[in-house]
Structure 1
């Protein structure tokens, strides 16, 4: 059987991936870079999808997929949970992998990557090896100058951090992962399993991708535009358009945005958003947004020591009087009276 055009091109260029394909090796090879205090579950979910897809049943032989944890110095890398992972290979030539994955973790406890990793990632990008940022891995790709002009996905929880640290970049925080040409970024957690399943589906087969997730007791593979779960909401819906709109509203509770702006960010019309809200929740987007902000205000009144004036600011109200009027209409009393009852 002849080599594919891409494999022939790689072979002529001396690409190690061509030799693997020509010898009947794995169909998908992934190299991992773990940052200090990386998120263990995001890494484990990703690599376990590869492991389960690589062999029949649960035998874990790296036949159809292979992977390696890469390192500059080969020291164990501590995760955010305190469990360390021992790298398996030195950095070497990135072209021997189909993808390089950077797994991030705790923002405040993670120093910048060693310059050796920056050089390796730039070498990979120069060789057209796609780069993947998992959890806060997107932060490190951006710091390395490898996300310029790319859309990138970050967790809704880190959305504000990203905006504060990386001026001029508009990250996507209402999807579980984003594929933009040769960059893939995901919000971490269970979404890393879906990114891995996306790769397995693409290179190995849909059956293997589904098998892996089913063994891990995860639903069928999700597309990247599946909404992130976000904060707990009283507004429950299975409509993905409404879910994404609600998540955008959550991320802008302190500075409410218009329904028109929400629709624009989602690539929808204002009328479409309103229709989906009416059919799914039997209310308008504006009313749902107000309900969300009032629920957050009530939560802060009951659980925090913040002043009512500060809570009003945090929840996007003009002042404490405005909050009190809306609060009384919704809950039958003022924030001060509720705090007195619960105090």
Structure 2
């Protein structure tokens, strides 16, 4: 049996313990109670999430041993310091546990415990700079869903914890079990650790249905040239009206927004597939691999090959 202990503190993010469903369904799919999950907290007893929901946790002092420790984040690690008892406990646990993980800003607790020194790590994108400045010995990668560096696993914010938990299941029980768990939990896409935290569609956030429809059409037809006239027709607007409304709602002109969608599609293919760059360029609507590389470097600061290497080393 693989024992998993969740380390919680007052103000923890409720989504952190939602990841326990991944291990629950892994047991169901595997047909055996492979995982045993329990919650712990400094002092034990009732621990309240940031929403006010209370969870009864065992005291850390009662712990004998666990194979995996998962540390939950809190609302704001810059104003809510890491619990001293949890930090001391994790320093000791780091010498014995098979792996230690953090969800969202739980990485700050691992950092305080010295477990991230000299390692690659990630956290919620909004706190990545603060972590890097406060802990210069950590190589913080702010645009990763999760990172595995030896026995230390760190994830980005909120739902990224589900991806981290699913990756643990894949590591422990294999790809087939992980796929089945993802299907049962209606996780439509199993995200790799190297995948970006950001979504171009979410960043654009158009307000009107017409512009949303045009963006959805663009995303589904990236192989096409996608002129302003074509997108305007989808939105039932004149090209001039469309350009004006589109820019007002998204903050970008149509051509720039489409380029962002192409880059996002290309980056996902580069991170998650073994397709050649020629295929990636064609599928995402770039003229050729040279054009893809030129735009990719201008936007991300690194060539496509470096992104692919980084994604593979994170998995």
Q: Same fold (TM over 0.5)?
A: yes
- Tell me, in whole angstroms, the C-alpha distance in 2 between the residues paired with 1:62 and 1:85: 26
Could you tell me which residue of structure 1 aligns to residue 12 of structure 2? 38
Could you tell me which residue of structure 2 aligns to residue 51 of structure 1? 24
Per-residue CA shift, 1:126-164, capped at 9, x if unaligned?
A: 124321011001111101211100100112222223234
Mark the CA change 1:160 to 1:56 in structure 2 (over 3 Å): closer, same or farther: closer
- Please, which of 82, 87, 100 is the counterpart of residue 118 of structure 1? 87
- Please, which of 295, 310, 315 is the counterpart of residue 285 of structure 1? 295
Mark the CA change 1:55 to 1:243 in structure 2 (over 3 Å): closer, same or farther: closer
Unaligned runs of 5+ in 2: 205-256, 301-315
Mark the CA change 1:215 to 1:200 in structure 2 (over 3 Å): closer, same or farther: same
Q: Which runs of 4+ in 1 moved over 6 A?
A: 272-279
Per-residue CA shift, 1:244-279, capped at 9, x if unaligned?
A: 99xxxxxxxxxxxxxxxxxxxx9xxxxx99997797
Per the TM alignment, residue 200 of structure 1 is displaced from its structure 2 partner at its CA by: 1.3
Secondary structure of 2:188 counterpart: coil
Q: 1:92 and 2:23 equivalent?
A: no
Q: 1:72 and 2:97 equivalent?
A: no
Per the TM alignment, residue 104 of structure 1 is displaced from its structure 2 partner at its CA by: 0.5
Secondary structure of 2:139 counterpart: coil
Per the TM alignment, residue 56 of structure 1 is displaced from its structure 2 partner at its CA by: 4.9
Per-residue CA shift, 1:228-253, capped at 9, x if unaligned?
A: 125614321375663699xxxxxxxx
Mark the CA change 1:75 to 1:237 in structure 2 (over 3 Å): closer, same or farther: farther
Could you tell me which residue of structure 2 aligns to residue 237 of structure 1? 262
- Please, which of 166, 182, 194 is the counterpart of residue 135 of structure 2? 166
Query: How many aligned residue pairs are there?
Result: 234
Mark the CA change 1:177 to 1:164 in structure 2 (over 3 Å): closer, same or farther: same
Per the TM alignment, residue 281 of structure 1 is displaced from its structure 2 partner at its CA by: 5.3
- Tell me, in whole angstroms, the C-alpha distance in 1 between the residues paired with 2:91 and 2:297: 48
Could you tell me which residue of structure 1 aligns to residue 181 of structure 2? 212
Per the TM alignment, residue 210 of structure 1 is displaced from its structure 2 partner at its CA by: 1.9
Secondary structure of 1:161 counterpart: helix
Secondary structure of 1:126 counterpart: coil
Q: Mapping of 1:154-193 within 5 angstroms? A: 154-193=123-162
Q: Mapping of 1:192-211 within 5 angstroms? A: 192-211=161-180
Per the TM alignment, residue 81 of structure 1 is displaced from its structure 2 partner at its CA by: 2.0
| Structure 2 contact 265–284 (Cα < 8 Å) conserved | no
Mark the CA change 1:108 to 1:181 in structure 2 (over 3 Å): closer, same or farther: closer
What TM-score do the two structures reach when normalised by structure 1?
Answer: 0.59
| Structure 1 contact 35–102 (Cα < 8 Å) conserved | no
- Tell me, in whole angstroms, the C-alpha distance in 1 between the residues paired with 2:269 and 2:130: 20
- Tell me, in whole angstroms, the C-alpha distance in 2 between the residues paired with 1:276 and 1:207: 27
- Tell me, in whole angstroms, the C-alpha distance in 1 between the residues paired with 2:91 and 2:266: 37
- Tell me, in whole angstroms, the C-alpha distance in 2 between the residues paired with 1:188 and 1:288: 27
| Structure 1 contact 273–285 (Cα < 8 Å) conserved | no
